Amino acid sequence: MVFLIQKTLIFAIPLLIVALAGMFAERSGIINIALDGIMIFGAFIGAVFALNIRKIPWFVDHNQLTFLLAMLVAMLAGAVFSLLLSFSAIKLKADQTIGGTALNLLAPAISLFLIKVFTGQDMLEMQTVRNSAGEVKDFGFVLLNDNLGPIGRVLFDKAYISTFIAIALFIILSIFMYKTKTGLRLRACGEHPQAADSVGINVEKMRYLGTTISGALGGLGGYIYIATVANGTATGAVAGMGFLAIAIMIFGNWNPIGIAFGSLLFGFLKCLGVVYSNLDINGDGVYALTKLNLPMYFYNMVPYVVVLIVLAFSAGKSRAPKAEGIPYDKGQR
Amino acid sequence: MSKKTTPKKNIFDNAGARSAFASLIAILGGFLVGFIVLVLLALFNENIDFFDAVDGFFRILAGPFSAGNKDNILFQLGNMLFNSTPLLLTGLSVAIAFKTGLFNIGAPGQYLMGAMGTLIVAHSIPTTVVPPAIVWIIALLTGILCGAIWGAIPGFFKGVLGVNEVIVCIMTNWIAANIVSWVFKDSVFINVAETKMNFIKKTSANGVSTATFGLDKFFSGSSQYSRSYMDISIFIAIIIAIVIFIILNKTTFGYELKACGYNKNASKYAGMNEKRNIILSMAIAGGLAACGAALWVLNGNQDFKWEVYQSLPSDGFNGIPVALLANSNPIGVVFSSIFLRYINVGGSNLAAQTDFNEYVSQLIIAIIIYFAGFSRYIQEAMIRLRAGRKNKEKEGK
């Protein structure tokens, strides 16, 4: 059971953070189809940073700190990269789908180009290095502690530090979005920018803010993805995770609670597809799901099919921001 | 734009010319940035000097023409044209959906379903009984049908249930990837004979392959070893593009699709069946993407990897930049798809012949698309410039 929860979280956390990223951009009025690219870029820069800083043994000794620093760097990288999108979409009023698609092409191109220039390979691995004591430390910067006690073990054993930070960030940013003045203004710019402008809100600034937060979260999500799900290998791809996160955001109706529900549901179903073969539901030593003799493709498919079914039944309640995707033009009514 | 009372006729008074000019600026900008990247790399890498950067840049610009001797150039040209076929058709797929106001990000899934349908039929009907040409046609049509049905699913969700098509497309992509892997798992279609267990048998194993009319021989040049993939599929694709252009611009149905794209509610008010139009548009888009896959596998010399559940075909996603670069114009898609392949070939020549790697070409493409987004800004700037000049001319009088 503990195992299942942990696995679910590993899949759900990147989705959760990146779907929130999408929400921040779209609620401010910018469609961020570039999330996949931003994830790739953040993951790449974060991996380069972690790889290089871990050449110093002190940072290998302080694994958690290194992990945190790499997360910060990835956030920064994502934020800077997203400026390309916000500049074209806000300043030049370019089509946001085009800008986003360009970024989705640009991120793997830059990452792979540089990875190839510096390593001669097509991927970047940040696996095992030795610490100051000469012990081999692998990349999995996990919180591992034997004297945590039973409750502590459920929560912290083999869990990544990023999980807790991501959940905390998710809660803080959701409160920011719904309970602060800036959050309200940001949402207004996604619904009716002309009205927002008429009461003195700087629409451009708000949209820059939304997209930049979105970029930072996207970069973070990308780094968490390669550090946890992909076992520390940056390959210039995140297996379509960014697009999936956009789907989860739409599924969650552009609000945090829906997104949290969506990503947990999806993460759970996804992890079921990975662990089904050794899943003992009632503890009688019988692996019930293997007896059905269905191929893994079936279990892989389940999360997507379930999402479609849920969508079909909850259709018609979509609450997309009204002004998303439309460049703000002061002269328009 | 009004054409009356312009003092001097200027090419930029034409909206189409302005749009083409803006695309040209985007392309030049992309190349410029690509050149800067190469020069920067030369500065920081002692193995490469400035002239290598210039040389490398021209290799990309030359595309297949940087292949060296005449035979290699012909060979690369032929393969470039052949490989443009799936890209052209997925580009058309995305473009027609754009015209109806839909974002078809589901082309990879439709592509896979098309490949599946085509392969099963091409291998199942014995060519000893049915003539290969007939099998070829049935296989192509089956593939298109599979893709059309798969494309109609997001269309149905969007048109009837009102669910955002992007999310349904993304879901159906991965569902298709798993279905295809499931169907081909342990199947008789796997290429056991050549011990390529990861791939499906080539359709030529059953004697089914696209007609070449000697094109493959021509593009193979005098080379004995390498055989060109070139066949007539690129011409089929171009004809399809022209047909789509005519449908969109000269028929009532095309008009309805575009009206639906401009304003769904207005087209409904005008008595058009917007639900039917959305579903049909997505079905056509799906059929087009699937046709790209079908023509690719029906070449007869292509290995289709059946275990696709982990990654979607890139030709599906690359339809999006192709359509965007062409501004969703079906004729433009023909040029943009071949252009993107041209740059790609230049990039792989660069990687094969110099110390640079092939990702430079992808970088250039990405930047061209980024600049293509500024198209409207550039066009507006041109209008302003033009208007300013006209005013001056008036004052001069």
Domain boundaries, chain B: 74-340
Query: From CA A15, how far away is CA A272, in angstroms rounded?
Result: 16
Interface membership of A199 toward B (CB under 8 Å)? no
Mutation to test the B interface, candidates A18, A35, A243, most B Cβ within 10 Å? A243
Query: From CA A77, how far away is CA A219, in angstroms rounded?
Result: 6
Residue of chain B whose alpha carbon sits nearest to that of A249: B167
Name the minimum distance, in Å, from the CA of B210 to any CA of chain A: 32
B contacts of A95 (beta carbons < 8 Å): 324, 373, 375-376
Residues 78-117 of chain A whose Cβ lies under 8 A from any Cβ of chain B: 84, 88, 92-95, 97-99, 101-103, 105-106, 108-110, 112-113, 116-117
Q: Express as a percent the part of chain A with pLDDT over 70.
A: 83
* Crossing angle between the packed helical segments B107-124 and B314-325, to the nearest 10 degrees: 130
> Residue A216, Cα to own-chain centre: how many angstroms?
10
The pLDDT assigned to A281 comes to 60
Q: Is the pLDDT of residue A286 over 70?
A: no
Give the number of A-B residue pairs with CB atoms closer than 8 Å: 142
Phi-psi region of B208 (alpha: psi -120 to 50; beta: other; left: phi over 0): beta
Which of B37, B103, B163 faces A311 most closely, judged by CB atoms? B163
Least confident of A25-39, A115-129, B281-295, B296-310: A115-129
Cα dihedral B12, B13, B15, B17 in deg (nearest 10): -30
A120 backbone dihedrals φ, ψ, rounded to 5°? 75, 0
Helical spans, DSSP H, in chain A: 2-27, 35-53, 57-61, 63-86, 96-119, 149-156, 161-179, 181-191, 193-198, 203-224, 241-251, 256-275, 288-291, 296-313
Residues 6+ apart with CB under 8 A from A301: B174, B175, B178, B179, B182
Q: Are B92 and B243 in contact (CB under 8 A)?
A: no
Average pLDDT on A9-31 reads: 92
Mean pLDDT of chain A: 83
Inter-chain CB proximity B163 and A108 less than 8 Å? no
Sign of the dihedral defined by the CA atoms of residues A226, A229, A230, A236, in that order: negative
SS3 A142: strand
Query: From CA A82, how far away is CA A213, in angstroms rounded?
Result: 9
Q: Is the pLDDT of residue A97 over 80?
A: yes
ipTM over 0.90 threshold? no
The pLDDT assigned to A287 comes to 65
Query: From CA A332, how far away is CA A318, in angstroms rounded?
Result: 26
Which of A99, A239, A250 faces B164 most closely, judged by CB atoms? A250
Prediction pTM value: 0.88
Inter-chain CB proximity B167 and A109 less than 8 Å? no
The pLDDT assigned to B3 comes to 46
CATH architecture assigned to B74-340: Orthogonal Bundle (1.10)
Q: Which of B349, B384, B301 is nearest to B82 (CA)?
A: B301
The pLDDT assigned to B339 comes to 92
Least confident of A167-176, A270-279, A295-304: A270-279
Name the minimum distance, in Å, from the CA of B170 to any CA of chain A: 7
Q: Are B242 and B223 in contact (CB under 8 A)?
A: no
Highest mean pLDDT among A156-170, A297-311, B332-346 belongs to: B332-346
Q: Which of A308, A241, A240 is nearest to A16 (CA)?
A: A241
Query: From CA A200, how far away is CA A193, in angstroms rounded?
Result: 11
Encoded tokens for B24: 């040209």
Ranges in chain B, pLDDT < 70: 1-12, 223-225, 396-397
Inter-chain CB proximity A84 and B370 less than 8 Å? yes
Inter-chain CB proximity B362 and A84 less than 8 Å? no
Residues 6+ apart with CB under 8 A from B3: B13
pLDDT digits (tens, 9 = 90+) for A254-265: 999 999 999 999
